[in-house]
Amino acid sequence: MDAIKKTVFSGVQPTGKITLGNYLGAIRNWGPLQDQYNCLYCVVDMHSITVSQVAAELRKNTMDLVALYIACGVDPTKSGLFIQSHVPQHAELCWVLDTISYIGELNRMTQFKEKSRKHADNINMGLMNYPVLMAADILLYQTDLVPVGKDQIQHLELARNLAERFNNRYSETFVVPEGLVFKQGSSIKSLQDPLSKMSKSDPNENAVISLMDDPDTIARKFKRAVTDSDTVVRFGEDKPAISNLLTIYSLTSGETIEQAEQRFAGQGYGVFKQAVADAVIAVVKPIQDEQRRLIADKAYLESVLKAGAEQAERIAAKTLAKVYRKVGFVPKIR
Ligand code: TYM
Domain boundaries, the chain: 7-181+298-327, 205-292
C-alpha distances out from residue 249 to 85, 112, 123, 235, 265, Å: 36, 32, 38, 12, 15
Tell me which of 12, 23, 139 to substitute to probe ligand 1's pocket, judged by most ligand atoms within 8 Å of the beta carbon. 12
Top-confidence residue, 20 or 1: 20
pLDDT for 236: 96
Q: How far is the CA of 147 from the centre of ligand 1 (A)?
A: 9
**Confidence class for position 251, pLDDT limits 50, 70, 90:** very high
Q: How far is the CA of 152 from the centre of ligand 1 (A)?
A: 6
Atom of ligand 1 lying closest to residue 148 CA: 22
Atom of ligand 1 lying closest to residue 13 CA: 2
pLDDT tens-digit readout, 287-329: 999 999 999 999 999 999 999 999 999 999 999 999 999 999 9
> According to CATH, what is the number of the domain 205-292?
1.10.240.10
pLDDT for 253: 98
Which residue has the least CA distance to atom 9 on ligand 1?
22
pLDDT tens-digit readout, 79-115: 999 999 999 999 999 999 999 999 999 999 999 999 9
**C-beta separation of 106 from 128 below 8 A:** yes
pLDDT for 4: 87
Name the E strands within 167-294: 178-180
List the end-to-end C-alpha distance of the chain, in Å, as a whole number. Answer: 27
Atom of ligand 1 lying closest to residue 143 CA: 34
Top-confidence residue, 231 or 305: 305
**Confidence class for position 58, pLDDT limits 50, 70, 90:** very high
Q: How far is the CA of 13 from the centre of ligand 1 (A)?
A: 7
**Confidence class for position 1, pLDDT limits 50, 70, 90:** low
Residue 3 pLDDT exceeds 90:
no
With a 6 A CB cut-off, is 115 part of the ligand 1 pocket?
Answer: no
Q: What is the pTM of this model?
A: 0.97
Three-class SS state of 194:
coil
Which residue has the least CA distance to atom 1 on ligand 1?
12
pLDDT for 228: 92
With a 6 A CB cut-off, is 149 part of the ligand 1 pocket?
Answer: yes
Q: What's the rounded mean pLDDT across residues 218-223?
A: 98
Rounded CA-CA distance 175/8 in Å is 12
Which residue has the least CA distance to atom 37 on ligand 1?
12
Tell me which of 97, 148, 190 to substitute to probe ligand 1's pocket, judged by most ligand atoms within 8 Å of the beta carbon. 148
Give the catalytic positions in this structure: 115, 197, 200
Mean pLDDT for the chain? 96
**C-beta separation of 111 from 143 below 8 A:** no
**C-beta separation of 59 from 29 below 8 A:** no
pLDDT for 304: 98
Q: What's the rounded mean pLDDT across residues 123-138?
A: 97
Which residue has the least CA distance to atom 18 on ligand 1?
22
What percent of the chain has pLDDT above 70?
A: 99
> According to CATH, what is the number of the domain 7-181+298-327?
3.40.50.620
With a 6 A CB cut-off, is 21 part of the ligand 1 pocket?
Answer: yes
pLDDT for 158: 98
